[in-house]
Structures are given as C-alpha cells and as structure tokens.
Chain A
Amino acid sequence: MSDSVVAVNLRVNGTEYPLAIAMSRNLLGVLRNEVGLTGTKEGCDDCECGACMVLLDGQPVNSCSYLAVQAQGRQVTTVEGLVVDDKLHDLQRNILEAGGVQCGFCTPGMLMSACALLERNPTPTREEIQLGISGNLCRCTGYARIIDAIERSI
C-alpha cells in the first residue's frame, strides 16, 4: 500500500480538522485516532456489519471501507454529532428506553442508519425500517427492539 501523505481538511460534526494522513487510511481509523471520536466502531472491517456507519453529506457510508482522503470537503456526521446541547437525540433516547441496546457495539452504526432513514423517509413502515438498517448487524437483540425504537422516533 502507498504511504503518500495527503493534507486533508475533515469536517466532522461541524468542526474542521486539518490533518495530514496517508492516502491508504480509512475514514474509520482517522475518526477514531486522529480526530479522537471513538463512538464509531470497528466491527468486521470489511464492509459487512455496519458498526462503522457514519453519515457523509447525510448519507450512510461504511467508514471502514471509505478512504479518509475522499471525505475532503464533505460533512461527516458520527454518533457524537447526534447529541445537541448535551441532549440525546430522540433515536438515542428511544433505543435506550425500548431496550434496543444490549452489548451496544452495533448501536452507533444502527443510530446513523436510522437517522439517515428518517431524514429521507420520515414515516417509514416496519418493513422500510428493516431495509433501512439492513446493512447493520446486531448479534444480541434480535432487532425487534431496535426497530421498535426507530418506530417510536417517527
């Protein structure tokens, strides 16, 4: 792999981070290490599980398989960006109250996919919710309570 270092201005949750990063680095690693936001998780590191889901200009993207240098000039939103004025986002509160969190490892990615879904479709059916989070694996909950939480957030 190339080690070419590229100057990148990453905009994460509204804050600019001027960085110099190797071209081969994925967005996930840069968010967790250089930017210091560890809410986004590394699950499979293979674009399969969705634990690393972030929003890029509002659209869900697997950050494990997206080159950080390609995020230059785009708006990156991580799970930390859902909290405004120390208040949990509706989706965060509802996933806690509905019992949609067990081990919690999939939760940040689930929240980002759910957030993007409700942004483009404010009144999804249960089936549309299933498809909206179909790129996110959860090995604990069996999904029912996660879907309940998203339904409650409509």
Chain B
Amino acid sequence: MSFLIARSIDDAVAAMAQGARPVAGGSDLVVGARHGVDSLPDDLVAIDRIRELAQIEVNTDGCAIGAGVTHARLMVDETIVRRYPGLADAAALVGSPATRNVGTVGGNIMNGSPAMDTGAPLLVLEATVELRSEVGTRTLPIAGLWTGPRHTAASATELCTSIFLSTPRDRSSSAYVRLEYRRAMEIAVVGAAASVQLNDDGTIAATKIALTAVAPTVVAISVDLIGRPADEQALAMVAAAASDQATPISDLRASDHYRRHTIGVMAKRAFDAAARRAQGEHIAVPVNRTLGIGASS
C-alpha cells in the first residue's frame, strides 16, 4: 500500500508498472470508490503535479493537450476556444466550477463513461491519444480507445499523457450540445458533437457526428452530407441518422424511447452550431448557454 506524488511522467509510469493507479483530481476515482464501483486502489500515484501533463502545446501540425489539463482551463484556453470550440463547449458543461478545477480531460476519456462530455467532441475532431508505459509510447486514434462502458484499450500500466488534435482546415468548426435537466452537477442525458468543414460555395466538404450516452461508448455515426448545403434538409438527415443509429438504454435518467428521440434533436443542433461557426458566425462557448439548449435558469 503506497501513495506517491509523481513529479514526472517517468515517475508515474514506474509506479504504475508496480501496480499503482493514477489519480489526478480524484473526482471519478473517489466518488466511484464510495459507490462501490471499484474500491480505492491500494497503491496510488498522484499525477496532478506533473508539469508535462498540464501543457497545451501548439505547433504547425496541431495542438497537443496534456492529459492533466483541467476542464476549467480547456473551456477558456484561447487556442481551444478558437480552433476546437466543440471541446470547449463540452469542458464548460462538466460538473460545477469545483469539478472543473480538479477534473482533467485525460481522466474524463480514460474513465470511459459513455456519458463523458469531452469524448464526443474529441471523436469528431479525430483526436489521437498518447499512452505511455515503462515499455514505451504508443498512439491510437480515440475511436479505438473505448472498448465498452468504463473500459479502454489501455493496459493498467499505461498512462494517458496527451491528446493530439490536427490543425483545423479553413472554413471548419465544431460544437457540442447536451440535453440536461439542470445547469450544473449534471451528467448528459444525451449529447452530441459535430465537426463541419465547408466548401467555398457553402456546401459541406466533410462532417463528423458523435453521440454521448446513447450506446455502450461514445460513438460516431455516419450520414452522407458531402456536397449538400447545410440547410433544413441536412439537419433533418442528421436528426434521423442519430435517432436511427443510437442504441440507448432506459435508466433512471431517461427511457430508451426518450433518448432515441432527443438524440436526434441534439445531433441536429450540434451540427447546426458547428456549420454556423464554420461559416464564421460567433457562437460563444458553451453552445448550450448561448443558444438556450438544455436547462434554463
């Protein structure tokens, strides 16, 4: 039984090789232990003071977000808000100010909840995840990270160190919206993210849509909109595809029937916001508050 405050990634992965579990803010780990999801591990390594994990590095290829970057920082970071607003939309909706201060993007994606907010925008932005262990470093597309509810492709000795996003194309943008019953300390009833790239004539050059809390993991859906204008008909196609391809369950938060309907609404709103942003319209982060989606005050 041990507790170590790691100062470097090397320290952290060495401790993990000996069986320690990483803890950043603990907002999933500690609450989960209390609920009996998993007992608190015997050996913990705190990773919240590793400087390398707390950086957002931008270069000509794109942006590497340290796994230890908090939601509070993501939602206001100038690069994230300008280039990847869908991710900022999601970070701004997580929990409360207190949750966002301790919760990290790495923790959010590695906890593997199908209701995580940052997962869907990272999926539509085609993020790449870096995993590091004592043995070495590997990267994988985020689409291959989640293998089931609360399960990832990472082994117990691999630490998520960063998330890479490519430089966005011209006339492209992203958005994330969610259905919520209240404005804080909420978990998505359903959520949707979209990325949209437009041609010079305003037609759709590329788009990706991903859904939150309607399948065992965050999932991408397919809908063929290439060459079409981002109009009412496109929105209807997005809504229909989302409702058709979702595989929701019923639980105390919503019935499967309600989720299947509302995921269509959320998907078309996410697509609409992303398309409007791609056209140059300023829609402030988070879209939920700016456009009055979800719970009102």
Contacts and interface: CB of A to CB of B under 8 A. Distances in A.
B98 A53 contact: yes
A135 B95 contact: yes
Contacts, number: 92
Contacts of B95: 47, 135
A4 B2 contact: yes
Nearest to B92: A131
B104 to A, nearest CB: 13
Given A50-B96, A66-B26, A134-B97, A4 B1 contact: yes
Contact of A66 (B25, B33, B34, B42): B25
B44 interface: yes
Interface string B20-45: 00010111001101100001111110
A34 B173 CA distance: 51
B262 interface: no
Contacts of A117: 97
Contacts of A24: 33, 40
A46 B32 CA distance: 9
Given A2-B1, A23-B3, A134-B185, A113 B97 contact: yes
Interface string B30-63: 1101100001111110101000000000000000
B199 interface: no
B42 A4 contact: yes
Q: Which of A6, A47, A130 has the most CB of B within 10 A?
A: A47
Q: Range of interface residues on chain A?
A: 35 or more
A62 B95 CA distance: 11
Contacts of B184: 131, 134-135
Interface string A20-60: 00011010000000000000000001111010010010011
Contact of B31 (A46, A131, A132): A46
B3 A4 contact: yes
A33 to B, nearest CB: 17
Contacts of A4: 1-3, 42
A113 B98 CA distance: 8
A65 B97 contact: no
Nearest to A63: B98
B2 A135 contact: no
A59 B184 CA distance: 17
Interface stretch (A10-18, A67-75, A76-84, A97-105): A67-75
Given A60-B101, A61-B98, A135-B95, A3 B1 contact: yes
Interface in B83-113: 95-99, 101-102
Nearest to A132: B97
A62 B2 CA distance: 24
A19 interface: no
Given A47-B31, A135-B97, 8 more contacts: A1-B39, A4-B1, A4-B42, A23-B1, A60-B98, A65-B27, A135-B98, A136-B96
Closest 6 CB pairs of A and B: A135-B96, A134-B184, A4-B1, A59-B101, A60-B98, A2-B42
Interface of B: 1-3, 5, 23, 25-27, 30-31, 33-34, 39-44, 46, 48, 72, 95-99, 101-102, 183-185, 297
28 contacts: A1-B40, A2-B1, A2-B41, A4-B1, A4-B2, A4-B3, A23-B40, A26-B30, A45-B34, A48-B185, A50-B98, A56-B101, A60-B101, A61-B101, A62-B99, A65-B30, A67-B23, A67-B30, A69-B46, A70-B5, A116-B97, A117-B97, A130-B297, A131-B97, A132-B97, A134-B97, A135-B95, A135-B184
